[in-house]
Structure 1
Amino acid sequence: MKKQLIYGNLFALNILRLFDFSLRINGFDINKAKLALANIEALSDSEFNSYVEHKKKEITLYHLENNPFYKSFGKSIDINNWDSIPIMTKRHLQQPLEQRLSDGFKITNVYINKTSGSSGDPFIFAKDKWCHAMTWAEIMNRFSWFGIDFNTSKQARFYGIPLNKKGYYKERLKDWFSNRFRFSVFDLSDAAFDKALEKFKTSKFDYINGYTSPIVQFAKYLQRNNVVLNTVCPSLKVCVVTSEMLFDDDKQLLEKQFGVPVVNEYGASELDLIAYQNTNGEWQVNSETLFVEILDENSNVLPYGKEGRIVITSLYNQAHPFIRYDIGDIGILSKHSTLRKPLLEQLIGRTNDIAILPSGKKAAGLTFYYITKSVIENDGNVSEFIIEQVALDRFIIKFVSREMLSSDKKSIITQEMERYLEPGISIDFERVEQLNRSKSGKLKQFTSHLNQ
C-alpha cells in the first residue's frame, strides 16, 4: 500500500511536470541540465571567462580526436590559436550524416533533425542527448524571464503543421505533451481568425509563440475588429515571435492589439536559442552554451558595434561539430556587449538575401523589403507581401490585398525604391490570393533569383 502511494505521488508529479517528463523519457536529462546551467550562471565574471575559454578548447580538441570528418576539416588547427580554426559553412555539412558523427555516436543514440533550408543549404544534423538537454534548459530559462513555465503555461502556437496524416497527428501529440494548441499558419483568412479568437476566449493561454508574419496578420485582424486580445483572454502574459524579422511598427501593433509585452527570439535548430529579448528590452545573446563571433569577409573578428557574419560555436555538442560555424546571417553585437552578456544590436538578414543592383551596389534584402513596407501597408489595404529579384534591374512585388493597388501607390513605391537604392529599377506588381510559404510555414520576405 505504501509503495503504491509513493508510485502514485511520483506519477502525479510527473503529470504536473509533463514537459520535463517527456524530455526525460526520451533520454534528455533536463533536471541535470537545469542544474548545470544554474551553476554556469553562478560563476563570477573571471570564472565565466575561464569557463568559456576552457569549453572552446575542450570541444575543439574533442572533435579533433574523435571525429574523422572534423580531423580532416581542421588539419591546420593550432589548438592554442583560436584564429587558426577554419570557418565551417552549411556547404561543408552537406554530406551523409553518418560521415559527420563522432566516434561512439550513431543514428540510434543521438537527436536528429533537419535545418529549415531558409538559407538555401538544408542539411540533416545531430546533437548528443546531453547537448540537447542543455538546449532545452537554456530555452526554458529564457522563457522564465517572462513568467513562462513549459510544464504549466499554456501556449498558443502559430506554426506550420504537416498536411500528411502521420505527420499531422505526430505534431498534435507533441502539442498535447507540450501543453500547447496549434493554429495553422497556412490559412490566414478572417474565417480562420474568427475561430482563433473564439479559442482565445475559451482557453487560458499564457503566451503566444510562433512565426512573426502570421502573428502580425492576427493582430491586424484584431485591429480591424477593435479587439484587444488580453481583454478576452486575461491569462495572456507575453508574445514571443521567432524565425522571421520583427519590425518596430509591427512590434508596436502587436503590443497594442495583444495588450502584453512582445519578445523577439532568434535561434537555429542545429545550434540552440541564440538570442532572446530580456526584460530590459535588450536582445541578450546566449553565452552559456554558445560562443558567438562577428567576422568580416576575410574571417577576421570584428569589434563590437561592427556589422559582419554571425559565426557560432556550440560548446556542448560532442556528437557533431559546430565549431566556428557560419550560420549565414549578418548582424551587429552592441558596443555595450561583454563576453558574459553579449547583446545583439541588430540582425540584418541572411548573407544570401542580398539585392545586387545594376551599378554593382549591394543592399541587404530585408532593408530593401522595409523600404517598401513603409509605403505599401500604411492604409491597411495590403495584408502581406514579398519581394523577388528576377534580374539586376527588375523586381516583383507579390501581395495579398482587399483591393488592387492604385497607380499612384505603385508610382510612390517605385520612386521610393529608386530614391533609397538607385534609378532605373523596374518594379512589377502581382496581386495574389495567398503567398506561398515553406513546408514549415515560414514566409521568406525577400528572395533573389540571380544565383539560381
Structure 2
Amino acid sequence: MNLFDLSLKLNGFPIKKAEKALRNIQLKKESEFEAYVNEKKQDIVNFHLKHTPFYKLLAKNANLLDWNSIPVMTKHDLQKPVNERLSNTFKNKKIYLNKTSGSSGDPFVFAKDKYCHTLTWAIIKDRFGWYNLDFNSSKQARFYGIPLDKKGYYKERFKDALGKRYRFSVFDLSDKAFKRHLKIFKSTKFDYLNGYTSSIVQFAKYLNRENIILKDICPSLKACVVTSEMLFENDKKLLELQFGIPVINEYGASELDIIAFQNTNDEWQVNSETLLVEILDNDNNILPLGEEGRIVITSLYNKAHPFIRYDIGDIGILSKNSTIKKPILEKLTGRTNDIAILPSGKKAAGLTFYYITKSIIEDDGNVKEFIIEQILKDAFTIKYVSQNELSDDKMKVISKEMEHYLEKGLHINFERQIKLERSKSGKLRQFSSKIHNV
C-alpha cells in the first residue's frame, strides 16, 4: 500500500494529478520549453495583479510585456501578516501554511495553494526517483530536527511513519548519540540518509574516528541526500568515504520548492518545471550565464501567495552549459551553519536554532531580522531588529527554550539593533559561533 501517496490524498493534495502534469511538462521538447516558461510567468504575474492587492501595490509599475519591469521581491516585503499577502481567491480556502526556517535571518510565514504544494511533492518524488528512491517504499534515515513538545513531537513521528522514515535528532551530535545511531543502522534496512548537511557531516566524522564504513554496517544503503546547508567538496569526499554510497546535493527553500538537485551526471540541475531561476546583478539586471549574482526565483504555480522575482538571499552562478529546459547551477554561496558546542561537550547542529527561534517568529511581523551568536560555550547573544522591543516574558520564553533544547546553565543576552551586519553576499547568518574546536 502506498501510504505516503495516500496520506497526501487524504489531506487534500492531488498527487496523481500533479505527477501527471509534471510528466507532461517534462515531455515538452527544448524548442517548446521557452514558450511554456514565458506563458507561465505571464500567467502568474497577471493572476496576482488581478487577485492579490498586496502584489498589485508592490508591482504598481509592472508592464506584462516587459519582464524587467516586474519588481524584485525581498523577504522584507513579506514580513507582514500572511492574510494581508494572500490572493482574494484563496483567503477563505484551505491552503498550506508554514514558516521559513529563518536561516537567512529574515523569518516570515508563507502560503501555498494545495495544488502548488502538491507539485512540490511531485518534484521531490521525481528527483529522488533518479536514484531509485521511492517515498512509498524506500526506508529513510532522517537527520532533521523535531519539536520537543508532545503534540509536535508525535505529529512528526506519525508523519515519519507514513513516509517510511526513522528520525535521528540533530539536537545531540555527541559520540554517545552516534553510537546509539549505529545500533539502529545495524538492525534496520535503510535505503538512504536524508537531512541537514552539518549533522550528517558530524556523523561521518564520528565514523572516521571509529574507522567504520556505514555501508558495512547497513548493506541496504544506496545513497545520501544532504540539504539546507552548503556541502563543501572536502565534506562530500568524507561522506562518500565513510558511508560508502553516492552523496547527492539538494538545494531548496520551504517557501518555494526544490531549487536544484544533483543529477546522475553529477550536475546540479535546476528545477525548471515549476520555477524560473534568474541570476541578477545589484541593479536587478539579468546576468549572462557563467556570471555570479543574486539568485532570484519565480514560483510559476503558486496562486495563493506571490513569489515573483523573489530574492532568496543567496549568491550563485548558472553554468554556461545551461539551457532553458535544463539550467545547471554551477556555484552556490552561503547557506552554511555552524555547530554549537556546549559546556558539557555536547554538540548541536546550527539548525537546532530553527526550533528555538520559532518562539520569536510571529505572524505579526514584529521581529524583522535576527541572528544568534555563540560567544562562549555557555554564552549566547540574540541580536534582533523589531518594531517593538521584546518583552521580558518573551525573552524568558526564548531562554527557557534554549535550555530545553540544549542544556541548562546557559547565559542568553538580548540586543535590539537598528540594523544587523550582513555578509558581502548581503545575507545574514542565523547562527554563528566563536567556538571552533569542532
TM range (shorter): 0.7 to 0.9
The aligned counterpart of 1:308 is 293
TM-superposed CA distance for 1:273, in Å, is 0.4
TM-superposed CA distance for 1:243, in Å, is 0.6
**2:297 aligns to what SS in structure 1?**
strand
Which whole-Å deviations, capped at 9, do the CAs of 1:31-65 have from their partners, x for residues lacking one?
01111100111011111111000000000000011
The aligned counterpart of 1:169 is 154
* Matches of 2:36 and 2:54, distance apart in 1: 26
The aligned counterpart of 2:212 is 227
Which whole-Å deviations, capped at 9, do the CAs of 1:222-259 have from their partners, x for residues lacking one?
11111111111111000000011111111001001101
Q: Could you tell me whether the CA contact under 8 Å between 2:318 and 2:330 is conserved in 1?
A: yes
The aligned counterpart of 2:369 is none
* Matches of 2:407 and 2:80, distance apart in 1: 38
Q: Could you tell me whether the CA contact under 8 Å between 1:98 and 1:107 is conserved in 2?
A: no
1:50 lines up with 2:35 in the alignment:
yes
Q: Could you tell me whether the CA contact under 8 Å between 2:102 and 2:430 is conserved in 1?
A: no
**2:41 aligns to what SS in structure 1?**
helix
Q: What does residue range 253-264 of structure 1 map to in structure 2 within 5 Å?
A: 253-264=238-249
TM-superposed CA distance for 1:90, in Å, is 0.6
Given the superposition, is the C-alpha separation of residues 444 and 258 from structure 1 closer, same or farther in structure 2, using an over 3 Å criterion? farther
Given the superposition, is the C-alpha separation of residues 338 and 243 from structure 1 closer, same or farther in structure 2, using an over 3 Å criterion? same
The aligned counterpart of 2:321 is 336
TM-superposed CA distance for 1:398, in Å, is 6.8
Given the superposition, is the C-alpha separation of residues 215 and 444 from structure 1 closer, same or farther in structure 2, using an over 3 Å criterion? farther
Which whole-Å deviations, capped at 9, do the CAs of 1:173-199 have from their partners, x for residues lacking one?
111111100000011111111110010
Q: Could you tell me whether the CA contact under 8 Å between 2:110 and 2:255 is conserved in 1?
A: yes
The aligned counterpart of 1:200 is 185
Which of 91, 110, 116 is the aligned partner of 1:106?
Answer: 91
Equivalent pairs, count: 361
Q: Could you tell me whether the CA contact under 8 Å between 1:385 and 1:445 is conserved in 2?
A: no
**Identity level (%):** 63
TM-superposed CA distance for 1:104, in Å, is 2.1
The aligned counterpart of 2:389 is none
Q: What does residue range 24-63 of structure 1 map to in structure 2 within 5 Å?
A: 24-63=9-48
**2:332 aligns to what SS in structure 1?**
strand
Letter in 2 for 1:248: E
Given the superposition, is the C-alpha separation of residues 396 and 339 from structure 1 closer, same or farther in structure 2, using an over 3 Å criterion? same
Stretches of structure 2 lacking an aligned partner (at least 5 in a row): 340-345, 351-372, 379-405, 411-428
The aligned counterpart of 1:285 is 270
Letter in 2 for 1:157: R
* Matches of 1:399 and 1:283, distance apart in 2: 37
Q: Give TM-score scaled by structure 2 length.
A: 0.78
Letter in 1 for 2:76: R
TM-superposed CA distance for 1:278, in Å, is 0.4
Letter in 1 for 2:195: G
Given the superposition, is the C-alpha separation of residues 445 and 94 from structure 1 closer, same or farther in structure 2, using an over 3 Å criterion? closer
TM-superposed CA distance for 1:106, in Å, is 2.5
Given the superposition, is the C-alpha separation of residues 47 and 32 from structure 1 closer, same or farther in structure 2, using an over 3 Å criterion? same
* Matches of 1:156 and 1:444, distance apart in 2: 26
Which whole-Å deviations, capped at 9, do the CAs of 1:341-392 have from their partners, x for residues lacking one?
1111110126xxxxxxxxxxxxxxx6xx99xx9xxxxxxxx99999xxxxxx
TM-superposed CA distance for 1:336, in Å, is 0.9
**1:209 aligns to what SS in structure 2?**
strand
* Matches of 1:398 and 1:344, distance apart in 2: 37
* Matches of 1:138 and 1:212, distance apart in 2: 21
The aligned counterpart of 1:294 is 279
Which of 130, 141, 160 is the aligned partner of 1:145?
Answer: 130
TM-superposed CA distance for 1:149, in Å, is 0.4
**1:104 aligns to what SS in structure 2?**
helix
Given the superposition, is the C-alpha separation of residues 315 and 447 from structure 1 closer, same or farther in structure 2, using an over 3 Å criterion? farther
* Matches of 1:170 and 1:323, distance apart in 2: 32
Q: Considering only aligned residues, what root-mean-square deviation do their CA atoms show, in Å? A: 2.6
The aligned counterpart of 1:178 is 163
1:318 lines up with 2:303 in the alignment:
yes
Name the stretch that deviates more: 103-112 or 333-342.
103-112
Q: Give TM-score scaled by structure 1 length.
A: 0.76
The aligned counterpart of 2:258 is 273
Given the superposition, is the C-alpha separation of residues 265 and 81 from structure 1 closer, same or farther in structure 2, using an over 3 Å criterion? same
Q: Could you tell me whether the CA contact under 8 Å between 1:85 and 1:324 is conserved in 2?
A: yes
Given the superposition, is the C-alpha separation of residues 384 and 72 from structure 1 closer, same or farther in structure 2, using an over 3 Å criterion? closer
* Matches of 1:178 and 1:107, distance apart in 2: 30
Q: Which runs of 4+ in 1 moved over 2 A?
A: 382-386, 395-400, 443-448
Q: What does residue range 92-131 of structure 1 map to in structure 2 within 5 Å?
A: 92-106=77-91, 108-131=93-116
> Which gives a bigger RCO, structure 1 or 2 (Cα 8 Å, sep 6+)?
2
